[in-house]
Structure 1
Amino acid sequence: MRERPAAPAHALSVSLHQLRLFVTLARYRSFTRAGDEFGITQSAVSRSIRELEDEIALRLFDRTTRQVTLTDTGRKLLARIAPLVEELEATLRPRADAQAGQGIVNMASSCGLTASVLPALLASCKERLPDVSITVMDRPQNAVLQLVRSGEAEIGVVIAPDNLDELAFEPLFADGFAAVVGASHRLADAARLEWTQLRGLPLLLLDDDAGSLAAVEAALARHAVAGAVRQRLTQPVAVARMADAGLGVGVLPMHARLACDSARTRFIPLAPDPARTVMIVRRRGRALRESAAHVWSHFIASSTHTLNTSQAIEA
């Protein structure tokens, strides 16, 4: 008896437009903003993404009335699709447009580093590479990593993330923590403080998005600084200003001194020093364009010289 031939596999019908919408929605986590990017309505974005999910039989986003988030499947697909979409668009884009964009580098940076570390590096880069224009995306650290993994940003500047999957990196400099107090605080004249001296004091910390909270909490636990009242803030300058007002002792990365140090605040190094690494990251296995490669090399070469003041200690 002759065997019946197997039924042909379902041929996927997925458009570049749908894939671009998928990458854009993953970036903005908003149907409205994704629609604005393409000049279409929110409902049109939702319909196109739903059709894409139906076509590939995968759920890419979790949707609630308040937010849109990638599923685990969506995150894995994004890491593979985004570079392909980028490469295909670059191939199809007219050559003149490609040449016009050669000197533009998209960089993402963790918010605290944007305010403290990045200005000096960007200034030196502008002097050394005058034909290169850097577009900075100022985001929470987890968003920076996602932008680099998706290819939306070519380069990222972050603080020693826990997960470097799919990323290549180079260290820029080591950075410790400091206690931040007002000039009139009883600890203001100390040259260095032990973590144990924070026991019983109200503490002002940065929240999870800054990439410092886990390291600070680990140091506090290691030195048995328990039971202290903790306030979590989003900006280093808010921590410094509240410390100056006598509302608690701030704990900040030493590099934050570049953004919020003043005559009214003291940054006092904390010991033992659980130094972390500020690093530059890019996608692993993907060569940088020439202009981005020049920026990458310049940041690595100039970071120690440019950022010496980030670790300066008051006399």
Structure 2
Amino acid sequence: MDWDDVRHFLALARSGSIRAAGASLGVSHSTVARRVDGLEARLAARLFDRSRDGYTLTEAGLQMLASAERIEHEMAALERGLVGQDERLCGEVALTCCDNYLADVLLRELTRFCRAYPEVELSFTVDSRPFDLSKREADVAIRALSRGAQPPEHLIGIKLAPVTIASYVATVHAERLAPELDGTEPRWISFDDRKMQEVLIADSSYPHVPAWGAFSTFELVVRAACEGLGLVMLPTYVGDREPALRRLARPDLRHMADLWLLSHPDLRDNARFRATRACIADAMRRHAGLFTGEGWCTDAPGRPEIASDGPARPS
């Protein structure tokens, strides 16, 4: 049985849609259909029921699913074992982090790293969803975990930096939105999770200021604040680097979470992954003030500088 056929079968079984399966595999929907049709023909068994609502596994398909997932697990372990022994500083490194502001900090460092190691090819994704490192959806992941939380036991985790939030207002709208002044009508711009926002507001220096709106990303929240739609609570590595924002008189710095560097233990000794992890960890240490909030300078609202002395060497 062709492993590629099994991969296409699994993608379709999990998504129930030819197009979604193709997107997850990076191939056309016609390729998925052809692979699955060919697999059914070779097995002389119908694995899916087709309908206008999508693809549903038959009894035979359900039986195959368990075996296919075992094969997938074994193939992933085999690949990790081989890749994990690679001592060459060359090849692809798939990195993911959770937002564009963090990516911007890292990319400055990683640019120098890639120049020092030109045979290392970086694949960088910004996405907050969980990546399955066992299946090598990413080789290195940077994720925010709640304060005190630990990464999954099957992964190697290095705590990089705290996620410290502070309260901000757009400088040009500060007088109109000042929560300390009488006659103003401030409001907090809210993320999608209004319940969490209300907990933070109640614990802030301005509990009387109501929440407003629902914005899904840091970029949208920052843009809304710059347009004068309200006050915002942001991680300091976001708010302190936005020239149009300034901290409120009582910014309420709070350590809410931690950024972790995650990887699979089977890839611990791979030279290029080890070097990448070292570069990222070194960069975060040297820019610690940006994440603790101690890098703020009231005399220079242009915000903390991001500088580098060069790429970290693998240890």
TM-score by length of 1: 0.64
Alignment deviations for residues 8-33 of structure 1 (CA, whole Å, 9 cap, x no partner): xxxxxx64124322565669991242
What amino acid does structure 2 have at the position aligned with 1:248? G
Which residue in the other structure is 1:313 paired with? 296
Q: In 2, Cα distance between the equivalents of 1:67 and 1:280? A: 37
| Residue 271 (str. 1) matches residue 252 (str. 2) | yes
What amino acid does structure 2 have at the position aligned with 1:174? P
Report 1:28-39 matches (<5 A): 30-34=20-24, 37=27
Decide whether the 8 Å contact of 1:160 with 1:279 is kept in 2. Answer: yes
> How far off is 1:281 after superposition?
0.6
Which residue in the other structure is 2:210 paired with? 228
Aligned equivalent of 1:121, options 85, 94, 109: 109
> How far off is 1:177 after superposition?
0.7
1:146 counterpart SS class: coil
What amino acid does structure 1 have at the position aligned with 2:286? H
Q: In 2, Cα distance between the equivalents of 1:284 and 1:313? A: 37
Q: In 1, Cα distance between the equivalents of 2:99 and 2:223? A: 17
Distance 1:201 1:179, change over 3 A: same
Distance 1:168 1:160, change over 3 A: same
> How far off is 1:173 after superposition?
1.4
Q: In 2, Cα distance between the equivalents of 1:154 and 1:252? A: 28
Report 1:178-189 matches (<5 A): 178-186=166-174
Q: In 1, Cα distance between the equivalents of 2:212 and 2:40? A: 43
1:37 counterpart SS class: coil
| Residue 21 (str. 1) matches residue 3 (str. 2) | no
Q: In 2, Cα distance between the equivalents of 1:112 and 1:65? A: 36
* Structure 2 spans left out of the alignment, 5+ residues: 57-65, 299-315
Alignment deviations for residues 70-128 of structure 1 (CA, whole Å, 9 cap, x no partner): xxxxxx999976563345568999xxxx9999432111111344544322332343355
Distance 1:291 1:67, change over 3 A: farther
Decide whether the 8 Å contact of 1:182 with 1:265 is kept in 2. Answer: yes
Decide whether the 8 Å contact of 1:180 with 1:240 is kept in 2. Answer: no
Q: In 1, Cα distance between the equivalents of 2:101 and 2:55? A: 27
RMSD of equivalent CA atoms: 4.8
Aligned residues: 270
What amino acid does structure 2 have at the position aligned with 1:105? V
Q: In 2, Cα distance between the equivalents of 1:286 and 1:109? A: 18
Aligned equivalent of 1:292, options 251, 257, 273: 273
Q: In 1, Cα distance between the equivalents of 2:20 and 2:259? A: 30
Report 1:133-148 matches (<5 A): 133-139=121-127, 141-142=128-129, 145-148=130-133
| Residue 43 (str. 1) matches residue 33 (str. 2) | yes
TM-score by length of 2: 0.64
Decide whether the 8 Å contact of 2:177 with 2:186 is kept in 1. Answer: no
* Structure 1 spans left out of the alignment, 5+ residues: 1-13, 69-75, 195-199
Q: In 2, Cα distance between the equivalents of 1:67 and 1:118? A: 41
Q: In 2, Cα distance between the equivalents of 1:219 and 1:67? A: 44
Decide whether the 8 Å contact of 1:103 with 1:291 is kept in 2. Answer: yes
Distance 1:167 1:22, change over 3 A: farther
Q: In 2, Cα distance between the equivalents of 1:226 and 1:81? A: 57
Distance 1:159 1:250, change over 3 A: same
Distance 1:307 1:120, change over 3 A: farther
Q: In 2, Cα distance between the equivalents of 1:234 and 1:307? A: 26
Q: In 2, Cα distance between the equivalents of 1:124 and 1:306? A: 16
Alignment deviations for residues 293-315 of structure 1 (CA, whole Å, 9 cap, x no partner): 11112211232214544532131
Distance 1:84 1:164, change over 3 A: same
Decide whether the 8 Å contact of 1:167 with 1:282 is kept in 2. Answer: yes
1:274 counterpart SS class: strand
Instruction: Give the % identical residues.
Output: 15
Aligned equivalent of 2:157, options 169, 175, 191: 169
Which residue in the other structure is 1:157 paired with? 142
Which residue in the other structure is 2:63 paired with? none
| Residue 205 (str. 1) matches residue 190 (str. 2) | yes
1:238 counterpart SS class: helix
